[in-house]
Amino acid sequence: MGGEYTVEGRALIGESFDEQRVALHIRDGIIVDIEERSTGPDRWICPAFFNAHTHIADTVAMDIDAPGSLSELVAPPDGLKHRLLRETAPGDLIRAMRGTVDVMKRTGTSGFADFREGGREGVFALSTALEGCGMDVVIFGRDGGEAVANGLGISSVREHGNRTADLVAEARSTGKMVALHAGEKDGRDVEDAIACAPDLLVHCTHATDYHLRQIADAGIPVAICPRSNWRLGVASSRDFPPVRRMLETGCEVFLGTDNVMFVQPDMGAEMSFVSYVYGLDPATILRMATAGAALAKTSYLIEEQRKAHLITVDGAGGNALFSKNIAKSVVNRLNSLSIEGTILN
Ligand SMILES: [Zn+2]
C-alpha cells in the first residue's frame, strides 16, 4: 500500500514481540513512527509471516491417496509428485500455484522460500503465478532452473553424490544462493550438506548434537517443517526435529510448511503445532515464523524504518477479547481468531 496511513491497536513490537498499545504511522510502505497510546481499538497487530520452505507446485497433487515411502512420494526424478507435475498442463499448474499463494496471503504470510522443480520452465511458471501478488518470494530452482532463480535447491546430497560440490560451486560462481534438504529421514546426509556451506538447510529432523554444533558455528539457518515430518512418517516424538536442542545450541531456526501436496501452507497452523509439541514460549515461535525473511534480505519485525508487513486481527471478535496474552493467542489459535487483513509491501 502506498501513501500515508495509520494502524492503531495492540502490537507485538520488535524482536521480543512485546505487546504495546500503539499507532503505527506508515508512509510509502515504511513504518516511520511507532507512537505509544493509552487507549485505542481492540485490534491486534502482529508481524506477517515468512514461510521458509515450500513446494507450492505440488498443489496439483493435493491430498491424493498415496500410500508410500518418502522417496516413492517426493524424491526426484520419479517420485509420485514429479510424475504428476510432468503430466500437468502449464495453465493448470499456474492456477494451482496461484490458489496456494492466495491461501498463504489470507493466512498472514507475506513471503516464502520455494523449492521449484521443472528446470527453467518450472521457475518461469512460478514467476507467472506470482505476478502482482506483492509477496517476497525466494525461488530455489534445479535442473538449470537455478540460473533464472534466486538460488539452487538440492533435494539431498544423496541425489547427486560427488557432483553436489560442483553444482554448488557453479551456483556460487554466478552469485546464487544454495539450499539443501538434509537429515529428513536419517542423519546420514547431514555432514555432507553442512560441508556445502549452504545459505539454508531444510529439515535436519535427524541431526545429531554434533551436527547442530557445526550448523550453529557455521551460522547456517535451519528451516524445520514439523507437520510435514509427522505426515511423512519421519518423526515420532518431539526429538524429531530436535527443536529444543537446535535452539539451545544456538541454531537460527525458521519455520516452513514443505509440500503443499500434504500440508496446507498456513503458518498459524504450523505455529500452533510447534506450540503444542514443543511447548516453547510464544516469542520464540513468532521469531521462527518471521525470521526467514532474512532469506529475502528483509525483516518483518514491527520496528521503525522497517517495511510494514503486518497482520491485523479483530481483537473484539469471537473470544479474542478475553485473551490475557495476545502473543500466546496468536501462536496457539490464530486460525480461529479473525484475521482482518494482511498488509504487504
Ligand atoms: Zn522440501
pLDDT for 80 equals 86
pLDDT at site 255: 98
Q: How far is the CA of 92 from the centre of ligand 1 (A)?
A: 22
Q: Are 116 and 128 in contact (CB under 8 A)?
A: no
- Name residues with Cβ closer than 5 Å to ligand 1, which is an ion: 258
What distance in angstroms lies between residue 116's CA and the mean position of ligand 1's atoms?
Answer: 10
Report the separation in Å between the CA atom of 204 and the middle of ligand 1, taken as the mean of its atom positions: 11
CA of 258 to the centre of ligand 1 (A): 5
C-alpha cell at 283: 516469542
* pLDDT at position 75: 83
| Cell output for 296 | 529475502
> How many A from CA of 329 to the centre of ligand 1?
28
Report whether 302 contacts 11 (CB < 8 A). Answer: yes
The domain spans of the chain are 4-48+300-343, 49-296
Cα(76) to ligand 1 centroid in Å equals 11
Buried b (16+ CB within 10 A) or exposed e, 292-311: bbbbbebbbbbeeebbbbbb
Q: Which CATH superfamily is domain 4-48+300-343 in?
A: Urease, subunit C, domain 1 (2.30.40.10)
Q: How far is the CA of 202 from the centre of ligand 1 (A)?
A: 7
With CA atoms as reference, report the closest residue to 59 among 142, 119, 125: 125
Q: How many helical (H) and strand (E) elements, i.e. helices and strands, does the chain have?
A: 13, 15
- Output the CA 181–ligand 1 centroid distance in Å: 6
Q: Tell me the CATH number of domain 49-296, given options 3.40.50.2300, 3.20.20.140, 3.30.565.10, 3.40.50.720.
A: 3.20.20.140
User: Tell me, what's the pLDDT at 2?
Assistant: 66
Classify 272 as helix, strand or coil.
helix
CA of 74 to the centre of ligand 1 (A): 9
Contact 107, 136 (CB under 8 A): no
Question: pLDDT per position in the chain (345 positions), as tens?
Answer: 569 999 999 999 999 999 999 999 999 999 999 999 999 999 999 999 999 999 999 999 999 887 778 778 888 888 888 888 888 999 999 999 999 999 999 999 999 999 999 999 999 999 999 999 999 999 999 999 999 999 999 999 988 888 999 999 999 999 999 999 999 999 999 999 999 999 999 999 999 999 999 999 999 999 999 999 999 999 999 999 999 999 999 999 999 999 999 999 999 999 999 999 999 999 999 999 999 999 999 999 999 999 999 999 999 999 999 999 999 999 999 988 888 888 877
Between CA 216 and CA 247 the distance in angstroms is 9
Going from the Cα of 53 to the center of ligand 1, the distance in angstroms, rounded, reads 6
With CA atoms as reference, report the closest residue to 17 among 271, 302, 313: 302
| Ligand 1 centroid – CA 264 distance (Å) | 13
Please indicate whether the domains covering 4-48+300-343 and 49-296 agree at the CATH topology level: no
Cα of 298 to ligand 1 centre, how many Å?
A: 22
CA of 115 to the centre of ligand 1 (A): 7
